[in-house]
Amino acid sequence: MNKPTRVPHLFRRPEQLAPADVPMETAYQLEQFLYAEAELLDAWQFNDWLALMAPDVHYWAPVRENRLAREAEQEMYPPGTAAHFDENFKMLGQRVARLYTHMSWSESPASRTRHLISNVRAHVTDNPDEFRVQSSFHVYRTSSERHQDSVIGRRYDLLRRADNDYGFQIADRTVVFDMSMLLVKNLSSFY
């Protein structure tokens, strides 16, 4: 784990920096999907949220570190190493189920969250039904009497057209938190 394989830094991959190239209507649909997803999370409709995940979903959030400038490309741990989330559909299902046990004390009483989604940019892929969609998030949370915190970052999604109310499923999501040491007490939500 000490020698991460040299992969281009997630933030600097050319295909992600390229101008958005989906038609305006598709862009609108993708954005609306992300807003709907956020609303389900803030409304504690986690089973409905889970239904937006494709059966083959991979939901992953790498750990980041302070590195020397010349080692900056390695500031994010590569796949298969240090991560905050590294989940398939079944694993996400366990996390959702936990929230409904009424004994998940970190969320019982429930915290109040607001998922703010912005800077949405989308690209076409070789598959006409799949789109690479990047979005930034700010998850504001208060819990208990006076705890409050914010988790901010960017997501790299593969969204797939699907026959459901919201038109898409999440086939792949990488969540990048804009923190090295996490300055929050836990990551008890979804991002």
Partner 1 sequence: MDISEFIDPEKGLIRGEIFHNKEIYDQELEQVFARSWCFLAHDSMIPDSGDFIQNYIGEDPVLVVRQKDGSVKAFLNQCRHRGMRICRAERGNTSNFMCSFHGWNYGLDGEVIHIPHEKEIYDNLDPEVFRATQVRLANYKGFIFGTWDETVADFEEYMGDFAWYFDAYIDRFEGGMEVVGVHKWVLPANWKFNAEQPASDMYHGEVSHASAFQVMMPISEEDGAPPPWVMQQLGVLSEPAGFQFSAPNGHGTGWFKGGMPLMDETIMNWHQSTREEVSERLGEERFDLAGHANIFPNFMMLSNYTFRVTHPRGPDEMEIWAWSMAPKNASAEVKDAIRLDILRTFSPAGMFEQDDAVNWEEEQRIMRGHMARQKPLIYQQMIGQARYDADGLPGKTVDHVYAEEAARGMYQHYADLMSGKPWPELEKIKKAREQKERDEIAARASPAPKTAAGGGQ
Name the site residues for partner 1 (rule: CB under 8 A): 1-2, 61, 63, 65-68, 71, 77, 80-87, 91, 94-95, 97-98, 101, 103-107, 144-145, 147, 180-188
* Residue 189 and residue 113 in contact, taking contact as beta carbons nearer than 8 Å: yes
Q: In this complex, which beta carbon is closest to partner 1, that of residue 168 or of residue 177?
A: 177
CB of 19 to partner 1, least distance (A): 34
Query: What count of Cα atoms within 13 Å lies in the side-chain half-sphere of residue 30?
Result: 28
Distance CA 120, CA 147 (A): 29
Read off φ and ψ for residue 165, nearest 5 degrees.
-60, -30
Q: In this complex, which beta carbon is closest to partner 1, that of residue 24 or of residue 181?
A: 181
Residue 26 belongs to what H/E stretch?
helix 24-42
CB of 46 to partner 1, least distance (A): 12
Q: In this complex, which beta carbon is closest to partner 1, that of residue 17 or of residue 97?
A: 97
Distance CA 22, CA 25 (A): 8
CB of 97 to partner 1, least distance (A): 4
Q: In this complex, which beta carbon is closest to partner 1, that of residue 101 or of residue 142?
A: 101
Task: Tokens for 18, please give them.
Answer: 């390229």
